[in-house]
Structure 1
Amino acid sequence: MSLACLAGPFLKRILLGGLCALLWPLSTQAADACHGSRDLVVVGHMDDDLLFMNPDLSSSIQAGACMQVLYLTASERKGGLEYMYRREQGVRSAYAFMAGRVNEWQQARLMVGSASITQFTLRSRPGIQLSHLRLQDPWLGPGWGSLTPLSRAESVPGQTVQTLDSPRQTLNREQLVQTLAALIRLYQPTSVRYLDDTNPVPYTQLCWRCTGHGHPDHIASARLVREAMLAAPGNYAQIGYVDYPIQEQARNLTLNEIHSKTEIFRRYAWHDQHACKGPAVCQEPAGPAAEWVQRSYYTSRADYPASLLSDSNGKLYFFASGEQNDAINQWDVHAQRWISLGGRTPEALSAFHYTDGSPGLFARDATGQVWFSRSPDENDWLAWQKIPGPRMLHTPMVSRRDSQAVAMGTDGLFYWSSARQPDYGWGAWTALPALEHAAYPATVSLDRQGRPHIFASNLQGQLFQTYQQSDLTWQDWQTIPAPPSSGGLASILNAQGHIELYLRDRQSQQLQRLIQGSQQSWTRPQNLGLQYVGTPALSLDEKDHVVVAVQKTPGGAIVLLDQGQEREVDKQSASAPALYRLNGTLYLATRPIGPEQRYRLLERRHGQWVQVALTQPPPPGGGQSFSEAPAFITQPYVQP
Structure 2
Amino acid sequence: MSDIDEPSGGDPARGGDQSSRKSGLSRRTLVFGGIAVGGLAVLGGGALVYREVRRAAGPEGSWVKLSPIVPLPESSPGATSPAFEQPGADTTVAVWAHADDDIIFANPHLAGIIASGATLRTVFVTAGDAGRGLEYAKLREAGIRAAYDDMRGSSEPWDEKQITLLSGARVTRFVPSDDDRLSITVLRLPDGNLSAKGFPATGDAGLTQLINGTVPALQPIDDGPTLDSGRLSQTVAELIHAGRPDRVTTNVPHESAFARGDHPDHSCVGSLVRTVAATAGVAAEAITYYIGYPSQHQPPNVLGADLDAKVAAYQTYAAHDPVVTCDSAAACLAQPGFGQWLRRSYPKTDGELQLH
Per the normalisation by structure 1, the TM-score is 0.39
**Unaligned residue ranges in structure 2 (runs of 5+):** 1-78, 199-204
How far apart are the structure 2 equivalents of 1:40 and 1:157?
30
Q: Deviations over 1:37-92 (max 9, x none)?
A: 11101111111111111111110110001111111111111532211111110000
How far apart are the structure 1 equivalents of 2:337 and 2:216?
32
Within-5 A mapping of 1:70-219: 70-77=123-130, 79-114=132-167, 115-137=169-191, 139=193, 144=195, 146=197, 148-156=205-213, 159-166=216-223, 168-199=224-255, 212-219=260-267
How far apart are the structure 1 equivalents of 2:176 and 2:86?
14
Q: Deviations over 1:178-200 (max 9, x none)?
A: 11211222211011101000456
Q: Deviations over 1:198-246 (max 9, x none)?
A: 4568xxxx9xxxxx41011000011111111122234672111110111
**Conserved 8 A contact 1:199-1:213:** no
Distance 1:195 1:21, change over 3 A: closer
Choose from 296, 310, 316 the match for 1:247: 296
How far apart are the structure 1 equivalents of 2:329 and 2:338?
17
Q: Deviations over 1:337-385 (max 9, x none)?
A: xxxxxxxxxxxxxxxxxxxxxxxxxxxxxxxxxxxxxxxxxxxxxxxxx
Q: 1:295 maps to which residue?
A: 344
Within-5 A mapping of 1:256-405: 256-276=305-325, 279=327, 283-285=331-333, 286-302=335-351, 323=352
Distance 1:228 1:113, change over 3 A: farther
**Conserved 8 A contact 1:93-1:103:** no
Q: 1:224 maps to which residue?
A: 272
SS for the counterpart of 1:256 is helix
**Conserved 8 A contact 1:198-1:299:** no
Q: Deviations over 1:141-195 (max 9, x none)?
A: xx626355112112226631110113x3210111111112112222110111010
**Greater RCO, CA 8 A, separation 6+:** 2
| One-letter amino acid of the structure 1 residue matched with residue 180 of structure 2 | P
| One-letter amino acid of the structure 1 residue matched with residue 85 of structure 2 | L
Q: 2:112 maps to which residue?
A: 59
How far apart are the structure 2 equivalents of 1:69 and 1:135?
16
How far apart are the structure 1 equivalents of 2:254 and 2:349?
8
Q: CA RMSD for the aligned pairs?
A: 2.7
**Conserved 8 A contact 1:113-1:175:** no
**Conserved 8 A contact 1:74-1:84:** yes
| One-letter amino acid of the structure 1 residue matched with residue 141 of structure 2 | E
**Conserved 8 A contact 2:142-2:320:** yes
Within-5 A mapping of 1:434-453: none
How far apart are the structure 1 equivalents of 2:298 and 2:197?
26
Q: State the Cα distance separating 1:112 from its structure 2 match.
A: 2.6
SS for the counterpart of 1:171 is coil
Distance 1:284 1:84, change over 3 A: same
How far apart are the structure 2 equivalents of 1:197 and 1:281?
31
**Conserved 8 A contact 1:71-1:131:** yes
| One-letter amino acid of the structure 2 residue matched with residue 75 of structure 1 | G
How far apart are the structure 2 equivalents of 1:119 and 1:275?
25
Q: 1:579 maps to which residue?
A: none
How far apart are the structure 2 equivalents of 1:229 and 1:131?
18
**Conserved 8 A contact 2:98-2:124:** yes
**Conserved 8 A contact 1:195-1:241:** yes
- Structure whose residues are more often strand by fraction: 1
Q: Deviations over 1:473-516 (max 9, x none)?
A: xxxxxxxxxxxxxxxxxxxxxxxxxxxxxxxxxxxxxxxxxxxx
Q: Deviations over 1:100-151 (max 9, x none)?
A: 1114100011123321110000111111101110112254xxx626355112
Report the identity percentage. 28
SS for the counterpart of 1:213 is coil
How far apart are the structure 2 equivalents of 1:69 and 1:111?
17
Distance 1:185 1:22, change over 3 A: closer
| One-letter amino acid of the structure 2 residue matched with residue 73 of structure 1 | T
Within-5 A mapping of 1:517-596: none
Q: How many residues were matched structurally? A: 268
**Conserved 8 A contact 1:113-1:180:** no
**Unaligned residue ranges in structure 1 (runs of 5+):** 1-13, 26-33, 207-211, 303-322, 325-573, 575-593, 596-640
- Structure whose residues are more often helix by fraction: 2
